[in-house]
Chain A
């Protein structure tokens, strides 16, 4: 089997832009809305989630391929993936508390909540569903991570500007954020079909 670079680049473009995990698949909305108020915190969150997503998609591929499928235990996917993700998140939190204490403080409760982030669980499940190979799931996971980080940072920069905007009283706060997010989602629909060539 030769290494088909074109195929992997298409997977990357597909997950980053066309099927963006947040804006098109509508997964992982809680950190997208919760941690996007400050740019710095959102960059930290993006880094942490990207790390967990990449590691999580690799390890869960291994578990799925070597443990669950040979034994006919496909029904254990969700459960075992959550266990793995919880472990990786705990590890990330330890590293962050030691090395970046201000960032750890800024992320607060959202850091352990990566465990229940649907994007982080969704990517390994989608990987297993479409029976990706190891490299494919790695690229799928990295693409999801890059897509999530990019959209989160873009959205946070936009919300910092929204703070200064003259918003009608009824739309203030989460409402205008939702409207902005949906407009972003519409914009990302424009990428549809980019991965077909």
Chain B
């Protein structure tokens, strides 16, 4: 009788300790899905989606309450990325939440401003500097272009100025070639998803490492600088050479990526 008790107690104890250890090993901070959706959203906090900010919208998507196409600032690319993450069909942006506009920052006409602080209270990212009965101004680098300050201004002194193209934010205009989808072959799709799942299960996050992260390999976004900062191979220095100028190629500044 007592042996039975001991055995069950021991079993429960061993399992409990193992689960406790693995709970520490596989700890999840917050909801990982919400964090991943939030990382895709543009963080304008504009509320055009009908939620009070980007994080609440991300939570709603994760819960399945909101659709993926309610974010105009994120644009078409954002909706595509969200569809990819959530494993649902891509949908064009829902026009009733607004249309994507070129990136802009708010500008306060300081001659007209009466210092009422209403726009400061409306700003979701605290990008407006000022005090009661003092002139307000916008910190352009903090402004997300959400337009929430336009409505409360009693003298309509805030305008949206499109962000001028500077060497800092200029991007290559790549030619866009539309990619045609292959005719859907259901059996191939099923096999693909099985293989993908199996390789994910077997390799876990190392699959990512194997394909994208090794030096000299095909890099996807976020790992692009892997091969540009280091030489792919080293050549021996020749015995006789005339030194013209040392040249190591173009080394871009490695920005710390938040993702």
Give the interface of A toward B (CB within 8 A): 39-40, 43-44, 47, 63, 67-68, 71, 73, 76, 79-80, 83-84, 86-87, 90-91, 94-95, 97-102, 105-106, 153, 157
Interface contact B32-A101, CB-CB below 8 Å: yes
A71 vs B31: C-alpha distance when bound (angstroms): 46
Interface contact A39-B190, CB-CB below 8 Å: yes
Interface contact B8-A76, CB-CB below 8 Å: yes
Among B10-18, B42-50, B123-131, the stretch in contact with A: B10-18
Q: How many chain B residues touch A (Cβ–Cβ < 8 Å)?
A: 31
Say whether B86 faces chain A, with CB atoms less than 8 Å apart.
Answer: yes
Give the interface of B toward A (CB within 8 A): 3-4, 7-8, 11-12, 15, 18-19, 22-23, 26-28, 31-33, 36, 62, 85-87, 190, 193-194, 197-198, 200-201, 204-205
Q: Can you list 29 A-B contacts (CB < 8 A)?
A: A43-B193, A43-B197, A44-B197, A71-B4, A73-B4, A73-B7, A76-B4, A80-B8, A80-B11, A83-B11, A83-B12, A84-B11, A86-B15, A90-B19, A91-B18, A91-B22, A95-B26, A97-B28, A98-B26, A98-B27, A98-B28, A99-B205, A100-B200, A101-B33, A101-B36, A102-B87, A105-B33, A105-B62, A106-B87
Please, which residue of chain A has its CB at the minimum distance from the CB of B189? A39
A79 vs B4: C-alpha distance when bound (angstroms): 11
A175 vs B11: C-alpha distance when bound (angstroms): 42
- The secondary-structure label for the interface of chain B is helix
Please, which residue of chain B has its CB at the minimum distance from the CB of A51? B201
Interface contact A73-B3, CB-CB below 8 Å: yes
Q: How far is the CB of A136 from chain B (nearest CB, A)?
A: 23
Residues of B within 8 A of A73 (CB): 3-4, 7
Residues of A within 8 A of B36 (CB): 101
Interface contact A91-B19, CB-CB below 8 Å: yes
